């Protein structure tokens, strides 16, 4: 569910080409690692890489959104929706990090 929600929000965030390609590459590559963590349920490395990637994308998302946020004059409805979904994804990432951390603990992580 975490991967599906973040995938959908990232797709909607990239919908208007307002954010640079590095936003999409960063988020989709972390979601690919998340799929790896789902497939290999016994791997601590996969879940730890997914958690680390989520934490890093929190920082990069803040930078992307703050640098590429358009001025009020150039903010159409589609741009507002796109940036809103990117911000919503950013706000959900700490919750996702907590849930992934719990999965890490369940798999035997310290």
Q: Residues 39-91: pLDDT tens digits?
A: 988 888 888 999 999 999 999 999 988 888 877 777 788 888 888 888 999 99
Spatial distance between the Cα atoms of 105 and 110, rounded to a whole number of angstroms: 6
- Check residue 86 and report its DSSP letter: H
The predicted structure's pLDDT at residue 41: 83
What is the residue whose two structure tokens read 């799929």? 35
The predicted structure's pLDDT at residue 92: 92
The predicted structure's pLDDT at residue 52: 93
Q: Which residue has the higher pLDDT, 17 or 49?
A: 49
What is the residue whose two structure tokens read 């979904």? 85
Which are the contacts of 48, defined by CB distance < 8 A and separation ≥ 6?
Answer: 104, 109
Which value, to the nearest 10 degrees, does the dihedral of the CA atoms of residues 36, 44, 56, 14 take?
Answer: 20
Q: Which residue has the higher pLDDT, 106 or 98?
A: 98
Q: Which of 93, 105, 85, 82 is nearest to 2 (CA)?
A: 93
pTM for this model (two decimals):
0.80
Q: What are the structure tokens assigned to 99, written together?
A: 């849930």
């Amino acid at each position: 569910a975490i991967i599906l929600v973040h995938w959908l929000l990232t797709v909607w965030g990239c919908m208007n080409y307002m954010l640079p390609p590095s936003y999409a590459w960063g988020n989709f590559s972390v979601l690919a690692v998340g799929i790896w963590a789902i497939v290999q349920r016994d791997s601590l490395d996969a879940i730890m890489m997914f958690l680390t990637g989520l934490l890093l994308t929190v920082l990069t998302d803040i930078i992307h959104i703050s640098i590429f946020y358009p001025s009020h004059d150039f903010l159409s409805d589609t741009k507002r929706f796109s940036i809103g979904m990117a911000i919503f994804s950013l706000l959900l990432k700490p919750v996702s990090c907590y849930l992934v951390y719990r999965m890490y603990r369940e798999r035997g992580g310290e």
